[in-house]
Chains A and B, each alone.
Chain A
Amino acid sequence: MTTPEQQERKPVRVFLVDDHALFRAGVRAELAAHGDDVEVVGEAGSVGEAVAGIAHHRPDVVLLDVHMPDGGGAEVLRRVRPANPSVVFLALSVSDAAEDVIAVIRGGARGYVTKTISSQELARSVRRVAEGDAVFSPRLAGFVLDAFSERPGAAPIADPELDLLTPREREVLRLLARGYAYKEIASELYISVKTVETHVSSVLRKTQLSNRYELSRWATDRRLV
């Protein structure tokens, strides 16, 4: 398989934002093993440091912690994105709370992975968001499916283009939630990896723009079907 990765071997420049120094050191060490693919150019331990650091280093990808003092990842997104639209964010979190995850996605992050991810998988995810694709962990796929599902009390569909997932997108999300990799999804559905990526990006856009969340699930608590 030939991908664009082969010709542009320039490593992706990564900036780490996490309030735990121990964790930053860990990620740095893990990514060092993939030095030709990913290069850590800087790190920050607070929202203020992150805003300054990102403006200074102009990285390709920011690995962003969801939970931090002073507003967390969502606050960093809010302050950095208007001035640096080219910087891509990938949320990296231990949080299981749908509200947190959806908040950073709607804030503009291109993906969400958990902190238990393997270093190889993390490097691949960084590369993927840097190329403009979205990265969904199984859990995020589950959250999104949940949010777009039809249930009593769900928000009305104001804009069908944004508020509904196509059957194909739903299938892709289900497979993601079942733990399939993009390549496995592609062979399962007899489509190309590129098409899978397109579907996931489209779901990401809907997740960011649709208003179904506020009214359906995240505003209230878990609602039983």
Chain B
Amino acid sequence: MAVHHPACDHFGVSSQLAEEETATPEVYAVRRLHRSESHKLVGGVAGGLAEHLRVPVLWVRAAFTVMTAIGFMGPLAYVLLWMFAAQAPPGEKAAPPDAKERQQGIAMIALGIGLFIVITVFSGSLGSWFIVPVTVGVGGAALVYREADEAQRRKWRDGAKSGVSGFVGTGSTQAKIRLIAGVVLVCGGVALFLFQQISPALLPPVLLAMLATLVGVGVITVPWWLRLVRDLDDERRARIRDQEREEIAAHLHDSVLQTLALIQKQAENPREVVKLARGQERQLRTWLYGPTGYGRGRAQAAEANEAADVPVTFGTLHEAIAVACGEVEDTFGVAVEQVVVGDCPMDVRLTALVQAAREAIVNSAKHSGVGEVSVYAEIEPDTVTVFVRDRGKGFDPEQVSTDRHGLADSIRGRMDRHGGKVRLRTSPGEGTEVQLEMPRKKEAKA
């Protein structure tokens, strides 16, 4: 361990500093005192101190016991360290102390307090009146502090949504009871102290003076508290706004700017340009207006997913149709206009339906000779109907059945296997419309 710290050396040359820093960087990493989670009996102070000083916990506890015996210094030091040392950060999951360590620790606390009582009583340096209120008050403080730690851990768990409500607001009933008990104990300790020190006749004026002081301090510091809360709020809002802005900028850069660059490069190839523009438009739309898109808000989207009780990968019919249409658009460079009324979770039959519809869209894109295909899907309680239509050249159904299998196998076969129906309307020059109808399965395991 390097004792000579170059940063403190005012005459040190900068090159030397840099050299030392690159040589042994871990020497300068400041080790902070954290309250321990793995050796925690009351607040984890002794354990944290032991870890920080790299000595056994037992020694630290023994030191606290001795300090307690001598003029009750132990609890005072303990409380101060509790206040100034932060909790061990979340992440490093530590096992709580085992039964043996727990018994040992409690025994040492009892020993310390017992020794202190014995010493004070025998030496007579302090009246025994001192012990009861202080013990009660310290016990209450410990309860309150523990609860604050617990609230902080809860907040870490919940992903730090709110700072202000972290102390009381989010706890369970049990936590609230513990908190109230702690406050009552602290007040009780203070009250006991007062009752023993002051004659009953003086009590009302003293209490009044205390109350007045408390109110006065409160009133004076109100603006400061308000500003603290407001600043915290403002800062949080600014941070969220920054994150949003970054996300939007990243998205625009990743997708829109890249596509625009590609379009410029492909300017001589109108088909490719249309394909790129169309693909980008679809992506941006999904991002903005899609069921799980940016514009809907994440909470709402999550709620929708939850309500549907669908694994995210499976998705809904609306999304599946959008994906199928998008694939065809990308592959064949045609525009597929889709309208979907209603929505429902996907299942095996609906997957077959979407695949059949996709095949029908591909047929239209390949053979119709026009650049636009209309897809309309309606989800009703009992059935789902999909129409795929183009205004292209159409064909005579009598003549294709022998050599082409697209319609027969991929559409009709698929629909038949799952209990669906297919209707085809076409004739040369009249365009083509394929109507696919699939009954909806009633969920057995509702």
Q: Which residue numbers of A lie inside 8 Å of B, CB to CB?
A: 95-97, 116, 138-139, 141-142, 145-146, 149, 151, 174, 177-179, 221-225
Contacts and interface: CB of A to CB of B under 8 A. Distances in A.
A174 B296 CA distance: 27
A37 B289 CA distance: 35
B68 interface: no
Interface string B287-300: 01101000110001
Given A95-B289, A224-B345, A138 B376 contact: yes
Nearest to A144: B341
Given A221-B303, A225-B380, A149 B387 contact: no
B272 interface: no
14 contacts: A116-B335, A138-B374, A146-B341, A146-B342, A149-B342, A177-B341, A177-B376, A178-B387, A221-B296, A221-B304, A223-B307, A224-B308, A225-B380, A225-B381
A96 B341 contact: no
B378 A145 contact: yes
Contact of B285 (A96, A149, A222, A225): A96
Interface residues of B, number: 31
A104 to B, nearest CB: 16
Contacts of A221: 296, 300, 303-304
Interface in B314-373: 316, 318, 335, 337, 339-345
B146 interface: no
Interface of B: 285, 288-289, 291, 295-296, 300, 303-304, 307-308, 316, 318, 335, 337, 339-345, 374, 376, 378-381, 387, 389, 433
A48 to B, nearest CB: 26
Given A178-B387, A222-B343, 10 more contacts: A116-B335, A139-B339, A145-B341, A149-B342, A179-B374, A224-B304, A224-B308, A224-B343, A224-B344, A225-B342
Contacts of B344: 224-225
Contacts of A149: 341-342
Contacts of B295: 97
Contacts of B296: 221
B342 A141 contact: no
A178 B389 contact: yes
Contacts of B335: 116
B291 to A, nearest CB: 6
A177 B339 contact: yes
B389 A179 contact: yes
B376 A142 contact: yes
A121 B253 CA distance: 34
A175 to B, nearest CB: 9
A138 B381 contact: no
Nearest to A95: B289
B426 to A, nearest CB: 14
Contacts of B379: 225
